[in-house]
C-alpha cells in the first residue's frame, strides 16, 4: 500500500507514478517546486506558496499546465486522498519530456507531480539545544544568474553549501551573496536579534522569499518586536544576541554556534523561543 500521487491530471498509485528519463526536470533540473505544510488538515499559506510557484515558473518561461484554482484543488485532493492531517506536500512542475538538448521549448507539456506525506522533523531535542552552523564558501546565486527567488529544481548551489556544513560536523550552512552580505541558509531563511530588535536580510540580498519568514515577521510585529530588514554581515551573525532560522520544515529553530563563535549564552534565546511558540500556535490555530 503506497501513497496516492498526483501525476499531471489525476491521482495514481505510487507504483504507477513514473516520469520519463527524457524529462528535462531530471536531465537539467529544469522546473520549479514548493514544499508546503499541512496543519490540522489545512494547507498552510496555500495562496502564498502557489503565488511563489507561479512566479518562479513565469521567470523560467515555464507554462504551468493548470490554472491556479485547479492547482489548489489538486493539492487539496492529494492531501485528502492520503489522509494527511499534519504533514508535508511536495509540489513539482517539471519542464516535461524533451530531447537530450537543453532547449526547453521542445518539451511539449510540463508535468505536475504532487506528493503528500508525513514530515521528517528535526528531533525535538535539537529545538531545545539549538543548531551549529558554518559560513559556506559557496556564494549564493548571483541575481543575474538564476534569480535566488526562483525555487527551481536545481538546488546544486545550496547542496554545495550543505556539503560544507556536513563536512564541518554542523547542521546547516549560511550562504553569503556576491557582495559578502548574508543571504540565507542552505534550506532556510535567517534572522538575528540584537538589543531586542529582530533583523532579517532583505530578500534582495539573495534569499528565497520564505513563506515562514513572512509569517514570523508578522508575528514578531504583533508581539511588539521591532523588525528591520537590512543587509547583515558575518560580523553581525558572530555578535548577535540570538540567531534563528525559519522554513516550512524546520518552522523556527535556534542557532547557537557559527564558525566556532557561541551565540548569546549558547542556548536558543527568549525571542527565538517566543516566536517559535507563536508560530506553533498560529500554524495550528488556522
Give whichever of 7 and 211 is closer to ligand PMP, judged by the CB atom: 211
Reduce the DSSP state of residue 8 to 3 states and report it.
coil
DSSP letter for 82, please. T
DSSP conformation class of 104:
G
Its sign, for the CA torsion 234, 122, 215, 58, is positive
Number of residues interacting with ligand PMP: please give it, by CB under 6 A: 15
Q: Of 22-30, 187-195, 265-273, 277-285, which segment contacts ligand PMP by CB under 6 A? A: 187-195
Rounded to whole angstroms, the Cα distance separating 19 from 115 reads 14
Annotated active-site residue in 42, 151, 162, 194: 151
Q: Is 251 helix (H, G, I), strand (E, B) or coil?
A: strand
Report if residue 201 touches ligand PMP, rule: CB under 6 A: no
What the block records as the C-alpha cell of 98 is 524533451
Which residue's CB is nearer to ligand PMP, number 164 or number 188?
Answer: 188
Residues 6+ apart with CB under 8 A from 142: 177, 178
**Pick 247 or 264: Cβ nearer ligand PMP:** 247
**Would you give the binding string for ligand PMP spanning residues 124-163, x where CB under 6 A is met?**
----------------------------------x-----
Q: Which listed residue (212, 240, 275, 283) binds ligand PMP by CB under 6 A?
A: 212
Specify which residues 139 forms β-bridges with: 176
* Binding flag, residue 213, ligand PMP (CB under 6 A): yes
187 in contact with ligand PMP (CB under 6 A): yes
Pick 56 or 248: Cβ nearer ligand PMP:
248
Could you tell me which stretch among 2-10, 97-105, 186-194, 228-236 binds ligand PMP (CB under 6 A)?
A: 186-194
What nine digits make up the cell of 114? Answer: 504532487
* CB-neighbour burial class of residue 15 (10 A; exposed 0-12, middle 13-18, buried 19+): exposed
Query: Does the annotation count 129 as an active-site position?
Result: no
φ, ψ for residue 194 (rounded to 5)?
A: -140, 125
Contacts to ligand PMP by CB under 6 A: 35, 158, 184, 187-189, 207-208, 210-213, 246-248
- Catalytic site positions: 151
Amino acid at each position: 500500500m503506497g501513497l496516492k500521487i498526483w501525476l499531471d491530471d489525476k491521482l495514481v498509485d505510487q507504483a504507477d507514478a513514473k516520469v520519463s528519463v527524457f524529462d528535462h526536470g531530471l536531465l537539467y533540473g529544469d522546473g520549479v517546486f514548493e514544499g508546503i505544510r499541512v496543519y490540522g488538515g489545512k494547507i498552510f499559506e496555500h495562496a502564498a506558496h502557489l503565488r511563489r510557484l507561479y512566479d518562479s515558473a513565469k521567470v523560467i518561461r515555464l507554462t504551468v499546465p493548470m490554472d491556479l484554482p485547479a492547482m489548489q484543488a489538486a493539492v487539496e485532493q492529494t492531501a485528502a486522498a492520503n489522509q494527511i492531517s499534519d504533514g508535508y506536500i511536495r509540489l513539482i512542475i517539471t519542464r516535461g519530456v524533451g530531447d537530450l538538448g537543453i532547449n526547453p521549448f521542445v518539451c511539449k507539456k510540463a508535468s505536475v507531480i504532487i506528493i503528500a506525506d508525513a514530515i521528517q522533523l528535526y528531533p525535538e531535542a535539537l529545538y531545545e539545544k539549538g543548531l551549529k552552523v558554518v559560513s559556506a564558501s559557496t556564494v549564493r546565486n548571483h541575481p543575474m544568474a538564476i534569480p535566488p527567488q526562483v525555487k527551481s529544481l536545481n538546488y546544486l548551489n545550496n547542496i554545495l553549501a550543505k556539503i560544507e556544513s556536513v563536512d564541518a560536523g554542523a547542521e546547516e550552512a549560511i550562504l553569503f551573496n556576491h557582495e559578502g552580505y548574508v543571504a540565507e541558509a542552505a534550506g532556510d531563511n535567517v534572522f538575528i536579534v540584537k538589543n531586542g530588535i529582530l533583523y532579517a536580510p532583505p530578500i534582495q540580498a539573495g534569499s528565497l522569499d520564505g513563506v515562514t519568514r513572512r509569517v514570523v515577521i508578522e508575528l514578531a510585529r504583533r508581539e511588539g518586536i521591532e523588525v528591520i530588514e537590512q543587509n547583515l554581515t558575518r560580523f553581525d551573525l558572530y555578535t548577535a544576541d540570538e540567531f534563528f532560522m525559519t522554513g516550512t520544515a524546520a518552522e523556527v529553530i535556534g542557532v547557537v554556534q557559527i564558525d566556532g563563535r557561541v551565540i548569546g549564552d549558547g542556548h536558543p534565546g527568549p525571542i527565538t523561543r517566543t516566536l517559535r511558540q507563536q508560530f506553533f500556535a498560529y500554524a495550528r490555530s488556522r
